[in-house]
Amino acid sequence: MAKNFSDKAFEALQARIINGGLRPSTPLDIHRIASELEMSVTPVRDALKRLEAAGLVEVIPRSGTFVRHYTIQDLIRGYELVEALDGMAGYLLAERVSAGVVDAAELEGALTPLVDEMEENLAQDQARKWGELDARFHQIIFDMSENTFIASSYYSVRNQMKSVLSFVSPIHVDRMNSVREHRAIIAAIVAGDSERARKICQDHRGLIRQILKDLLLQA
């Protein structure tokens, strides 16, 4: 039973952090959280330890526990990793298509409707919906690459950065250009062109990293 409560606390707090309900540097009071979740402090304490291990929470000696604050430099380093992971995932999936393990038509049928819907949600007030579709698009690629090490690493770093990037992406990302890039990714993967898929996937993420580098220079 205690484990179930620990999982519940972990999932609730993780969702709040990732979705921006708990902003970076927000103090996390164990007793208040336990009261809100209607449970004892023990599972909440366990959940916070897990969130610290996941990079979403930080403990500052003699100060307390806080939602981790990521600097722009942290985000740049994170996106350096994402670029590499995305490129390899695209490469592996294209390789599986080329080998006949993944059906190209079925894959295109799964990815293209997401991009079509992204193109229908380009407005500023639709940025959250657009971001959700973008995440689903890349999730399919990572999951179908059949490399759990790559996929788990990607989800971990994305979760760490998502709460911050949700405030950066709607303002600075050229969503129409991104839609075009998503279509190019689909074309390379379904053609089984591994090297091209790798390059396009990496370049796609590289644009975000460049935006972050520009913001760092402006800071």
Residue 92: pLDDT over 70: yes
C-alpha span between 10 and 106 (Å, rounded): 36
Single pTM value for the model: 0.81
Residue 164: pLDDT over 80: no
Residue pLDDT, tens place only, 106-131: 999 999 999 999 999 998 888 888 88
Which of 60-64, 138-142, 187-191, 204-208 shows the lowest per-residue confidence on average (mean pLDDT)? 204-208
- Better-predicted residue by pLDDT, 58 or 162: 58
Residue 1: pLDDT over 50: no
Output the average pLDDT for the chain. Answer: 90
Label residue 171 by pLDDT band (50, 70, 90). low
Chain-centre distance for alpha carbon 194: 23
Q: What percent of the chain has pLDDT over 70?
A: 94
